[in-house]
Each structure stands twice: as structure tokens, then as C-alpha cells.
Amino acid sequence: MGEQQHVTFPQEVIDEYAALGVDLVAMFSAGHLGTRMGVEIVEASAERVVGTMPVEGNTQPYGLLHGGASAVLAETLGSVGSMLHAGSSKIAVGVDLNCTHHRGVRSGLVTGVATPVHRGRSTATYEIVISDDQQRRVCTARLTCLLREAPAR
């Protein structure tokens, strides 16, 4: 855990943010919490965001993946999708997160895939499906973000 891995963005998105002096990979590194939890974003666009997180280090007392860890992965992925949809002139602020936990996981890596349900001017909603190493659904989440004008840089 710790170091953030390479994040894939469409070149036009990288160029848009670079023109504003923003390091897009650093911006979407999952932050300090995501880094501590080992979240890695491996693919990112407004249409699909994929990330992984190890189960080890993110468990509850019974040795199962903590539901809050799934929520962190889901909110991270949905927020990245919302920010990419909104563009560089807006910021995405999570206003609703709903998680349904389907099965326990004791080891390995979980993978989350965020896809848009709604992408509007003022809100964006993403469904995030988290699966285990055997592609079994562990958690289904839905995140809605409010899209606000970015403060002047």
C-alpha cells in the first residue's frame, strides 16, 4: 500500500488540465485516505473509471473487507468520473452515497468499475460495482455528486 500507480486518462483531458497548470494524475490520486487504503485508479474517463483496492489492511474485526472500505473505493471512483464529466471549470462534491454489500471477502484484491447513470449540468450519478478476484459482485454502490463552479485559481 501507499504509492499511487499510473492513472490512464484520455489525452484531451490531460491537455485541458495541463493548460491550467494542474497535474491530473496527482489530482486523482485518491487522496491521503485512498493512498493509505491502497486504492489505485487504473483507468479513468467520464464513461468508465476502474480502480482496485487490497482486502488486506481494509478489514473489520471478523476478517472481512470493511463496508466502509468499499464505500471509500466507490466514492473515489464515482468522484473521479464526475470530475471528468464536469470538466476543469467545475468541482464534484459527493452529496449521496448508497452501498449494498452482497458478499464478504477475506483476501485478494477488489476491483471497482464506475459507470454513469446520469450526467447533467449540476449533478452526476455513477453506479459502482465492486467485485472480488473471481469477478463475484461484492458491493453495488451509487454516488451522486453536485457539480459546482470551481473557485478561481
- Tens of pLDDT, residue by residue over 11-48, are 777 787 788 777 776 666 656 788 889 998 888 889 99
75 annotated active-site: yes
Q: Where are the beta strands (DSSP E) in 55-136?
A: 90-101, 109-119, 123-131
Q: b/e per residue, 94-115, with b = 16+ CB within 10 A? A: eeebebebeeebeeeebbbbbe
Strands 90-101, 109-119: pairing is unpaired
Q: What is the pLDDT of residues 52-63, one digit of tens each?
A: 999 999 999 999
The model carries a pTM of 0.87
- Grid cell, residue 16, equals 485541458
Q: Determine which one of 16, 75, 127, 149 is catalytic.
A: 75
Output the CA angle 135-101-73, nearest 5 degrees.
70
